[in-house]
A and B are shown apart, each in its own frame.
Chain A
Amino acid sequence: MSRWTKFLIVVCLGALAGLFYGWVVNPVEYVDISPQSLRVDYKTDYVLMVAEAYQVDHDAGLAVRRLADLGSSSPKDIVTNALNYALQHDFTPQDMALLQTLGNDLSSWNPNLEVPTP
């Protein structure tokens, strides 16, 4: 076996060891993530919290801004996804109603009618 062949073999072995170390043993850790990367149950709970908060302030614009942290999907889609998850996981009727109310109100929400805050 020539030197070049051996050289290429050890380069490959080294690369494999490096990939194993970087992906399995000591992978990159994200500690400053956004709510977009949350697990789906936490995301659903986040939407539920927005729905509960909406019952307090009745501010659809604020709810939309809060939901925007969960990704670039439309707020209505985010609420629909949460509602679907809630349906599949036996959330209480009260929670479902909150999500439904938020979803319905966001459907009819028009950003152009928002009163700009001074």
Chain B
Amino acid sequence: MRQERRGSWYILTGVILGLAFGLGYSWMVSPVKYIDAPPYSLREDYKEQYRVLVAVAYLYSGDLLRAQDRLVQLKDADISTTLAMQAQRALAEGHPEEEVRALSLLASALNKAIPPTSVEPTSTPNILQSTPPLAASPTIELPAPSATITSTIGLSETQTAPQLTPIP
């Protein structure tokens, strides 16, 4: 009689215990591991380093399309503004001059490549969707950046066209 009054609470207790064990194991002991992550999952400081690398690589190749394709992987809302802001921060924090110059040059080049008047809020990636996947390694040659570029952070610098090192 007493056992019947206890009802089925033990079932609910078991389910809760089981759920707690399952969630604890899957979230804390053995969580899903991502080993094939995209660049937009990077920590913010790594993202900044990624942008620096893209910018310095652009200094070498002058390949704006490839630089855009790489930056799009970070899924920044506004690529050129993000670059310009990072250039400002780098300048304020005393990062190497080359880094600041590369970031501001790329930001400026992107601004010229995508004039604000021609960009609609939902159509920003248009130019980028035509780029080949990374693995295919884009081969489109674009004209080198203009000879004189005024950086968006107020620096006026004269930049010669990227120097192409002879390929052995």
B16 touches A (CB below 8 Å): yes
Chain A-chain B contacts (Cβ-Cβ < 8 Å), number:
168
Within the assembled complex, what's the spacing in Å between the Cα atoms of A93 and B139?
A: 10
Within the assembled complex, what's the spacing in Å between the Cα atoms of A33 and B21?
A: 27
Say whether B18 contacts A18, CB under 8 Å: yes
* B:1-38 near A, CB below 8 Å: 10-11, 13-27, 31-32, 34-38
Please report the total number of B residues contacting A with Cβ < 8 Å: 52
Within the assembled complex, what's the spacing in Å between the Cα atoms of A90 and B26?
A: 40
For the complex, would chain B's binding face be called helix, strand, loop or mixed by DSSP majority? helix
> Contacting chain B: which of A34-42, A73-81, A108-116?
A34-42
B16 shortest CB reach to chain A, Å: 7
Say whether B18 contacts A22, CB under 8 Å: no
- CB nearest to A66 among chain B residues: B53
Say whether B22 contacts A31, CB under 8 Å: no
B116 shortest CB reach to chain A, Å: 27
- CB nearest to A53 among chain B residues: B56
Say whether A56 contacts B59, CB under 8 Å: yes
Render B132-165 as a binary contact track against A, CB cut-off 8 A, 1 for contact.
0111110100000000000000000000000001
Say whether B167 contacts A27, CB under 8 Å: no
Say whether B53 contacts A92, CB under 8 Å: no
Within the assembled complex, what's the spacing in Å between the Cα atoms of A78 and B121?
A: 39
Within the assembled complex, what's the spacing in Å between the Cα atoms of A22 and B54?
A: 36
27 residue pairs of the A-B complex, CB under 8 angstroms, read: A6-B11, A7-B14, A8-B14, A9-B14, A11-B18, A14-B17, A14-B19, A15-B22, A17-B15, A19-B23, A21-B19, A21-B23, A22-B23, A28-B32, A30-B34, A33-B43, A37-B35, A37-B37, A39-B38, A42-B134, A45-B70, A46-B50, A56-B56, A69-B46, A92-B139, A93-B167, A98-B167
